[in-house]
Amino acid sequence: MARKTALALMLALVMALSLSLVGCGKSSEDVIRDGITEELEGLKTLNDDTVSQLLSDSAGAFTQFGIEDKEFFEAWLQGFDYSVDDVIVDGDNAVAKVTLTAKQMSDIMTAFQANVDVTKTDLNALGPALLDAAKSAKTTTTSIELPYVLRGNTWEQGIGFNSELAKALAGY
């Protein structure tokens, strides 16, 4: 049950990054690079807007396990970093090559499951164990390619954007 909740929250995190990019006087490459930087910087610094969006999307999912959603996100995203390595534009399509350093959900869930027998544990005891697994997880560096498509004068996330980001954060 905690695994499903954690994966649902990971997807909420990815959806919180849904963005469209419009640039005035900037090159397409710069518009895309600036947009990615703005969104990922919110995860790196856990700014108020990003935290509010994550908490809104998670809707108290971890309270049933005895921890606050914000606690889990802070533990999971501790050590998050990124670099936008390159943006390649080809007509109305573009690819942003991004390197992410993050704790992967698969590692968190593996550590959690190794330390807890969910069939014999009270729900309120699951949260602290999950939080401990998130806090102790090591970061992994992953390179991904995020697709963009130009619609009118707006760069939008292309097909596969969310799945690429989700796979990198999930570790699957």
Q: Cβ contacts of residue 51 below 8 Å, gap of 6+?
A: 70, 73
Instruction: Tell me the per-residue pLDDT of 67-89, one tens digit each, with 9 for 90 and over.
Output: 888 899 899 999 999 999 999 99
Closest C-alpha to 102, from 126, 75, 84: 75
Checking if the pLDDT of 26 tops 60, the result is yes
d(CA 66, CA 81): 28
Q: Return the structure tokens found at 85.
A: 């390595």
Res 21 pLDDT > 60: no
**What integer pLDDT is reported at residue 3 of this predicted model?**
52
Residues 43, 12: contact at Cβ < 8 Å?
A: no
Q: What is the pLDDT of residues 128-161, one digit of tens each?
A: 899 999 999 999 999 999 999 999 989 999 999 8
pLDDT tens per residue, range 56-68? 777 778 888 888 8
For the chain, which residues make up each domain, given as ranges? Answer: 2-170
Contact assessment for residue 49 and residue 86, using Cβ atoms and an 8 Å cutoff: no
Task: Answer for the pair 15, 43: CB distance below 8 angstroms, yes or no.
Answer: no
| Run of H or E residues at 149 | strand 139-151
Task: Compute the distance between CA of residue 102 and CA of residue 34 in angstroms, rounded to an integer.
Answer: 20
Q: Which residues of 41-60 are buried (b: 16+ CB within 10 A; e: fewer)?
A: ebbbebeeebbebbbebbee
